[in-house]
Amino acid sequence: MELFLDLHTRVPRQGPGNDASTAQALRMLGELPPQLHILDIGCGAGAQTLALANQVNGNIVALDCNQCFLDELRQKISELGLQRKITPMLGSMFDLAFPDNTFDVIWSEGAIYIAGFEKGIQDWRRLVKPGGFLVASEISWLRRDIPAELETYWKEQYAGIDFISAKIAQIESCGYAPFGYFVLPESAWLEGYYGPLLANREAFLAEHNNSPEAHAVLQEMAQEMALYEKYSKYYGYVFYLARKVA
């Protein structure tokens, strides 16, 4: 796990995504209060946090359980002069010690799978103000005719993977009104995530003395990338947008 985290500290994003998709999701929320209070759960190194901060007024609490990611984010915040807009916070998505009805928006890109999609949206609902928003990206099946190789792989990696219709049903059952979704483009995977990861392979191996363990981590990522390149029409990350039902 330490090697996996170390590899991911070398790239802007710790999962599929890009600034254009973050901006698209934000636009889909429509007219928002002039001063927003946003909680970005599982922010990682904060690529999407920075993208949000450049487009909204207010404050974003950027929460992650890994200090190494928050250290990267703090440096970027300082370089960009965003100290008044972003508050990095070390903490767990399983123990969110905020009062009820605190945030206008709960945002989570590529991280809610850690809690499990349904559990995450259910547990986080109390933090959203009445009429506030939940925005989360989650890996989902895009077609029904899933190849056996692909289904076996992802069921082992993340048993919570499911169809878009099932995710929307979970959103409704947890007290939200879903009002939109979209599939992230392939570029969000290949250019936004896998490309930067694999571009740093030599530096990563050198830092870890070419160890078999480091090679194994890279091999695992290469296998995942190869599967995506082969089967991208069958699955992807999906942005889900919903409003809390008061």
Q: Which residue has the tokens 């100290």?
A: 83
Q: Is the pLDDT of residue 3 over 90?
A: no
10 band by pLDDT with thresholds 50, 70 and 90: confident
Q: Which residues of 41-54 are buried (b: 16+ CB within 10 A; e: fewer)?
A: bbbbbbbbbbbbbe
State pLDDT tens for residues 180-223.
Answer: 999 999 999 999 999 998 888 888 888 889 999 989 988 988 99
Lowest mean pLDDT among 6-15, 33-42, 47-56, 217-226: 6-15
Ranked by mean pLDDT, the top range of 152-156, 212-216, 222-226, 237-241 is 237-241
CATH homologous superfamily of 2-244: Vaccinia Virus protein VP39 (3.40.50.150)
Query: What six digits make up the tokens of 44?
Result: 């990682």
Q: Supply the mean pLDDT for the chain.
A: 94
Task: Please state, in angstroms and rounded to a whole number, the distance separating the CA atoms of residues 140 and 143.
Answer: 9
Q: Residue 73 contacts by C-beta under 8 Å, 6 or more apart in sequence?
A: 43, 45, 46, 49, 50, 62, 86, 88
